Structures are given as C-alpha cells and as structure tokens.
Amino acid sequence: MPQAVVCVKPIPDPKHWDKLYLDHKTGVLRREGVPHALNPPDKHALEVALQIKDEFSWDVAVVSMSPPDTVKILRETLAMGADRVYLASDKAFSGSDTLATAYALSELIKKKIGLFDLVVCGSMSLDGSTSQVPAQLAHYLGVPHVTHVTKVETDDAKSFKVVMDFKASEMIVECKTPLVLSVTKEVNLPRIANVMGIISSENKPLEVVSATDINADLYKVGLDNSPTKVKELFIPEIKRKKEILKGGDPEDIVDELLDKLHETGVL
C-alpha cells in the first residue's frame, strides 16, 4: 500500500504562551507546565495526506519528535484519520536544533516506516518558525523537496502538480514520488475529528521509541551536537512614534498624512 508520512510537531499551546520564558543562560525556551497543541500548519499537512488516503487508499503515518507527554495531543491526528503514530522521545534529543531534529525524524522514518511515497510537513512551526526542518529532512532522506505549497493536485498519486506561492509570484511544479512537500495553510481546510474518529483512535497504534530503538547516532542529536548555537537571546526593542492628526478639512489631513509618510520614507 502506498505510504504517506506526515511530520507533526507538538508546540506549546499558543493560548498559554504567557507562561513560556527564555533561559538566557542556556539559550533554551523553557516550556515546563505549558500544555501542548498540534502545530496548526501540520493539520493542513495531515489533511493533504488524508485526502490522498480517501481517494487512493494510502496508509498515513504520523511521525514526531517531542517529549513523552505529547502522546495525548498526537492522538488527535489518529482521530482525524491517520493510521499510526511514531513518536521519537528521548532525553538524548533534548535541545536539538533544526538539523538534529531533521536527522532524528529521518532515522525514525527509515527505521519504523522504511519505503515511503510522500512526506508532508507544515511550512513552518509556530514556535521555532525557521522553516528549515522539511528541507533538511528531504536531504537526509535523499529525496526532492518542494516548499511553500498552496495547492496539490494528482490524478494517480504517483506524480503531483503543486503550486508554490512566493507572494509576489507563483511557480507550478510537476514532481514525482518519493518526495517531501511542505504546505502552507492556504492548501486546504483541515477536517475536524468526529466522535467515531475519536473512538476509533483509541485502537490505533501509537508507538513511542527511544534514540537507541531507531539506532540514532547520539553524536548527531541533542543540544551539544547541534551545529547552531544560540549566542544571545533578547526581545528586540521596537520604537514607535505616535502622532494624531486632527482638526481641519479631512482632505487637508490626508495631504498632511501623505507628506509625513513621504518625509519618513514610508512612501
């Protein structure tokens, strides 16, 4: 059966971001006690795979690297329709940068899934927001990667026509499996898990594996083995000028506003 793999990152629930804090000494974002949520763009990635499953009877596996207490939140992907979840969870992965994360995910895919046709990722996480993991994952898996995908079309689920959106322009790419796609929220509207989905998710496999279970090279994961080093963390100071233009004719105010925008170089 053709195989889709969806990369899903549990992130600190945006509703509780006020409880996050930056550890300036270690350069790590502390998230203890903050509940998790699925990274929203990853639901769109899952929906891409589920639509292919609905039409072409594919198997859909979700892979993730995150702490063990994210198991509960990952079950939501099973309730939405994924067939299985593999979670790589180990202290050895703690503090991994994007390259180390991509390496761990690639080893998880190689060891637990093997041959795959399509890997779908979100285009970026809402917490780290680097957008680097999908391309690095494609590198480790040795397959092409198409990013910023806003439309996915296929007649046979072997070759795909995808639209890459660069805001100022669009590019249409024809690509063949196996490949990695990273999709934006414009690609679809993710389904909401229904009651039957939630009940059936209890019987679907969700396997938690350690670094040694997937034979991950321990010199390629974790904070110490991550090539990116955080040198400094700071909240940028944004200086804003406020001026209220009032009185007189509205047209005069607009003229004055335009003059000021020209003066400051905005226009």
Ligand X SMILES: Cc1cc2nc3c(=O)[nH]c(=O)nc-3n(C[C@H](O)[C@H](O)[C@H](O)COP(=O)(O)OP(=O)(O)OC[C@H]3O[C@@H](n4cnc5c(N)ncnc54)[C@H](O)[C@@H]3O)c2cc1C
Check: CB of residue 7 under 8 Å from CB of residue 38. Answer: no
Q: Does 154 engage in binding with ligand X (CB under 6 A)?
A: no
d(Cα 147, Cα 128) in Å, to the nearest integer? Answer: 17
DSSP state of 215: T
Interacting residues of 262 by C-beta distance below 8 A, sequence separation 6+: none
Stretch that binds ligand X, among 14-22, 72-80, 89-97, 158-166 (CB under 6 A): 89-97
Q: Does 208 engage in binding with ligand X (CB under 6 A)?
A: no
Q: Which is nearer to ligand X, 27 or 200 (CB)?
A: 27
Residue window 15-44: x/- pattern of binding to ligand X, with contact defined by CB under 6 A? -------------xx---------x-xx--
Closest approach, Cβ 63 to ligand X, in A, equals 6
One-letter amino acid of 252 = D
Q: Does 187 engage in binding with ligand X (CB under 6 A)?
A: no
Q: Does 95 engage in binding with ligand X (CB under 6 A)?
A: yes
Neighbours of 43 (CB within 10 A): 22
DSSP state of 77: H
Q: Does 131 engage in binding with ligand X (CB under 6 A)?
A: yes
Dig out the tokens for 170 from the structure.
Answer: 């669009």
Dig out the tokens for 167 from the structure.
Answer: 């805001």
Q: Does 5 engage in binding with ligand X (CB under 6 A)?
A: no
Please list the helix, strand and coil fractions of the chain in percent, rounded to the nearest 5, in that order: 35, 25, 40
Q: Does 98 engage in binding with ligand X (CB under 6 A)?
A: yes
Residue with nearest beta carbon to ligand X: 128
Q: Scanning residues 53 to 72, which ones bind ligand X (CB under 6 A)?
A: 64-66
User: In the block, which residue shows the tokens 């414009």?
Assistant: 186
| Residue from 3, 4, 5, 8 in contact with ligand X (CB under 6 A) | 8
d(Cα 34, Cα 42) in Å, to the nearest integer? Answer: 20
| Residue from 25, 114, 169, 229 in contact with ligand X (CB under 6 A) | 229
Q: Which residues bind ligand X (CB under 6 A)?
A: 7-9, 28-29, 39, 41-42, 45, 64-66, 95-98, 101, 105, 121-122, 124-125, 127-134, 223, 226, 228-230
